[in-house]
Amino acid sequence: MSEGAVNKTKKRFIAGAVCPACSETDKLMMWNEDGVPHRECVACGFTDTLNEQGLSVPKELGTRVNQPAAKAAPAQVQTVQFFPNPKLKKPAE
Ligand SMILES: [Zn+2]
């Protein structure tokens, strides 16, 4: 088998597709590389690939299958309120 030979299809504009990065319509091109759908926005340069579930995969991940689960741990913000005790004030006679 020949290594490095990637079966690419032609880039085609996706009618009505909205870029997830810049929200421009009809600026996304799509093509396949070895059966993997790729997208590219000609307006802002955004590129990504789609996995088997049709979900967007950022370019940086490459061929890695296991994606780190985005743990969106919300920062625990505790607002502590101090109520000044009005009884500390001695009533003026
Ligand atoms: Zn874009």
3-state SS, one letter per residue, for the chain = CCCCCCCECCCEECCCCECCCCCCECCEEEEEECCEEEEEECCCCCEEEECCCCCEEEHHHCCCCCCCCCCCCCCCCCCCCCCCCHHHCCCCC
pTM equals 0.55
Residues 4-41: tens digit of each pLDDT: 788 999 999 999 999 999 999 999 999 999 888 999 99
CA of 31 to the centre of ligand 1 (A): 16
The two tokens of residue 31 are 């093509």
The Cα–Cα gap between 7 and 19 comes to: 25
Residues 46-90: tens digit of each pLDDT: 999 988 888 888 766 445 555 455 556 666 666 767 777 767 666
Protein residues within 5 Å, CB atom, of ion ligand 1:
19, 21-22, 41, 43-44, 46
